[in-house]
Structure 1
Amino acid sequence: MLQHLLKLILCINVLILPFFHAGTAGAAGNDTLAPEEINGEAAILIDATSGDPLFEKNPDQRLYPASITKIATGIYAIENGNPDDIVTVSKRARYEEGTRVYLAEGEEVTLRKLEYGLLMNSGNDAATAIAEHLAGSVERFSEQLNEYLQEKTGVEDTHFTNAHGLHDPDHYTTASDMAKITQYAMKNPTFREIVGTKTLPWEGEEWNTVIVNHNKMLWRYEGATGVKNGFTDQARNTLVVSAKRGETELIAVTMKAPSSELAYSDVTKLLDFGFAHYETKQVAKAGETFASTTVDQQGRHLQYFAEHDLYVAAPIGETYRKKVTADGQLLLQFSGGTEYRRSLKPKQLPPVQPAASKQTDKQSAPSAGQQAAKYAIFVTWFLLNLFLVFYLYARRNRKRKMMKKWYNHSFLGKN
């Protein structure tokens, strides 16, 4: 009997333990993502809503972007051009090197169509045509684009000399800056629609086809929403991809990857890591007020408010607490040690009445003792007057009686 029981236990262990080990190994393998696991020379993963970085590898290293430059060109064209404008293709645009949508010299195309050709099919000719239409020349367009990016996205290590990303030693950016540019661009519904379009019929003077989005992640990755890939001999393979699951959207960037497939492998690892460990969470609503532990000269706690809705990339399963720092920031501390800070606006407190005015008011307002004294004086005064009235009335009656008695005695002979 005992031997049969031991055999049964052994069989159960043989069947169950492999599944147990496989499950725990998989979970442990996803807990961290080391920089050496990413093939690109630089990479970053951010939460698209909050901008919080979730993974970084050489994020501020200046590198050549290749065609992910077109993310910047695309959002600039969408926000600064009229989509119904008719663009006449120049000779320079017609003979631009690299990937094209085969525009003909003198061909008239809407700006909207060029934006699709730019972002879906990576048309260098479309990029130059857009630049010349919006600024008169590629050189002037580049100057305007750099100013625009600094103003709108706050990039610090980006300098573009053209609209398409063909190699130029002075044409560079960083993984961190590309994430900021993409985060800004993806807030625009038109941009989001274009980079999320998989196929589109294309009819031109020299090319009739169906263009296919060059970003393979739109087919390969669940929830992919955009955005752009690139390649030159100097830049190697660059790739920016966004994906959304539930309320959480992430943006992954890899630069200077050795091959296209290794670039796709990078962003897949980055996105998998992000979705496994983080979720976008709202931590404050626009207008929500927070009290600080700091007090003003009148002893009142300083108050701050959220100018707009505030979000963070929250570690999944962790709790957090809020507090206002001495410099007026909302500090969010998660149970696992992650901390975020969000800027708040100071709230104007109502003016405090000067101390002198308060003293004057106190002096002018009668106290309870003074009220009682006044009441006692009034009662005393009233009783004295009442007594005086009775006294005078009694004295008058007494005098009348005496006069009547004297009159009767003197003139009438009565006693």
Structure 2
Amino acid sequence: MKKTPLILAASFFLGMIFSSEPSAEELSANEPAIESESAVLIDADSGQILYSKKSDAEMYPASVTKMATAIYAIENGNLDDIVTVSENARNADGTRVYLEAGEQVPLKKLIQGLMINSGNDAGIAIAEHISGNVETFSKEMNEFLEKKVGLEDTHFTNPHGLFDPNHVTTAEDLAALTQYASQNEIFREIFSTAELKWDGETWDTTLHNHHKLLQATPYEGMVGGKNGYVSQSGFTLSTLAERENIRLIAVTLNAKTDRMSYKDTVKLLDYGFANFTSEFVASGTYYKDQEGQEFTLDEPLYYARKTHETISADVDTSGNLTIDGEDGRELAKHPLDPVKAEKNKLVKSAVADVEPVFGKSVLHDHLKFIVMISFAVALLLVGYFFRQVRRS
């Protein structure tokens, strides 16, 4: 049977529509092959894990530790304080910003030297200024990480990450730390700094961020990052990048080579940007459960879905909102607030037929898909009509 050009065009159009939507199996098959011993990729808005490889395994973080020191110092110190550098700080092992004993440096500048040039001497000077000594600082920082940041599997014994068998964390905890810290404007500014003029007492130079994805040709959407290395930890990286559809945090631990750690990080970020979109349910959205009880969301609820994925929302009788993906996996869960009786009178018309209000592009994507289907069907009908006219 000979097909008209319109029918061929419509068939091609339909094929493009359906072939553009990867199945869950196809998406799983496209997961990156990561060589680092431990790794995780999360949505920076919701904290949702998008890829995991031994991400809850106990690991040595090396200088990625300095993110914790930086955010603790920012939140608990006065950035304008003038810190007097001790002999102990001046004699730090490893990477330094070459502070001199007795040198006086603003706290913020020490945090910049800590993060951008990975200065171990700056880390000790910060710890001694805030808590009196490294041991007390480490104890207080651990309490902060557990109670304020919510880390469950992290224990740090120093502010810089030099090896100690008891200085441990996980990829998941480091991703959560990056998520928390990057919400602070001062941390984010330092985290994102590619280079900085450094005018020290005996060392005048330009500091260049050691994270290579921030250097000469930055990764597209790169926001900031911290690298680390000691022989016992291998090469470690924490990286934040964002594009229009999603913000991502990638952590890789114990890569055998520097090149491997960056290759793995780029694989994770590419995978996330190609396959996921960040969404949110708007605060103030109203729901009814199966018994007709009314609830509302008191704050935006973020989650990440697969590109082109259809999601569903359900509210149980306890008022818990669950967002599920099309393969049944849970994307987000959040308790709702019951709507009070007196408030019902004011919002009754607004909640008569409750539908969740989603942020960003989820409804737009679904409507666009419907329009595309309708257009293709219309092309087929027009082709059929002209074919009948020719026959008559």
Q: Does structure 1 residue 316 correspond to structure 2 residue 307? A: yes
- Quick one: which amino acid aligns to residue 97 of structure 1? D
Counterpart position of 2:230: 232
Verify the 8 A CA contact 2:116 2:209 in the aligned structure 1: yes
Structure 2: stretches of 5+ with no match in the other structure: 1-18, 343-392
1:302 to 273, 284, 293: 293
* Cα distance in 2 for residues equivalent to 1:260 and 1:190: 28
- On the 8 A contact 2:297/2:337 being kept in 1, the answer is no
Report which of the two structures shows the higher radius of gyration computed on alpha carbons. Answer: 1
Q: How does 1:112-127 map to 2 (within 5 A)?
A: 112-127=108-123
Aligned identity (percent) is: 47
Match of 1:371 in 2: none
TM-aligned CA deviation for residue 135 of structure 1: 0.7
Query: In the alignment, is the contact (CA less than 8 A) between 1:278 and 1:316 conserved in 2?
Result: yes
1:92 matched residue in structure 2? 88
CA positional deviation for 1:97: 0.3
2:121 aligned counterpart, secondary structure: helix
- The two structures have a TM-score, normalised by structure 1, of 0.74
- Where does 1:195-214 land on structure 2 (aligned, <5 Å)? 195-214=191-210
Counterpart-to-counterpart distance in 2, 1:69 and 1:243: 19
Residues 234-383 of structure 1 mapped to structure 2, 5 A cutoff: 234-282=232-280, 284-293=281-290, 295=291, 301-347=292-338, 349-350=340-341
Amino acid at match of 1:71: M
Shift of 1:34: 4.8
Describe the superposition over 1:15-57 as per-residue Cα deviations: whole angstroms up to 9, x where unpaired.
xxxxxxxx99xx999763557x211110000000011100000
Q: Which amino acid aligns with 2:134?
A: V
Q: Which has the higher contact order (CA 8 A, sep 6+)?
A: 2
Q: Deviations over 1:369-410 (max 9, x none)?
A: xxxxxxxxxxxxxxxxxxxxxxxxxxxxxxxxxxxxxxxxxx
CA distance in 2: counterparts of 1:235 and 1:290, whole angstroms = 48
8 Å CA contact retained: 1:305, 1:344: no
Cα distance, 1:292–1:158 mapped onto 2, change above 3 Å: same
Quickly say closer, same or farther: Cα 1:32–1:243, change in 2 above 3 A: farther
Give 2:148's aligned amino acid. K
Equivalent pair of 2:319/2:338 in contact (CA under 8 Å): no
Q: Could you tell me which residue of structure 1 aligns to residue 100 of structure 2?
A: 104
Q: How does 1:58-207 map to 2 (within 5 A)?
A: 58-207=54-203
Return 5+ residue gaps in structure 1 as ranges: 1-22, 296-300, 352-415
Question: In angstroms, what is the RMSD of aligned CA positions?
Answer: 2.3
String of CA shifts for 1:344-380, please: whole Å, max 9, x gaps: 23325338xxxxxxxxxxxxxxxxxxxxxxxxxxxxx
Query: Cα distance, 1:290 vs. partner?
Result: 1.8
Letter in 2 for 1:72: A
TM-score (norm 2): 0.78
Partner of 2:38: 42
Q: Which residue of 1 aligns with 2:10?
A: none
Contact 2:40 / 2:55 at 8 angstroms: preserved in 1? yes
Give the superposition deviation at 1:102.
0.4
For residues 101-147 of structure 1, the C-alpha deviation after alignment (integer angstroms, 9 at most, x for no partner) is 00000000000101110111100000110111111111010111111
Distance 1:317 1:141, change over 3 A: same
CA distance in 2, matches of 1:122, 1:167: 15
Q: Structure 1 pair 33/168, CA: closer, same or farther in 2 (3 Å)?
A: farther
Asked if the contact 2:46–2:303 (Cα under 8 Å) also holds between the matched residues in 1, the reply is yes
Rounded Cα–Cα distance in structure 2 between residues aligned with 1:272 and 1:261: 16
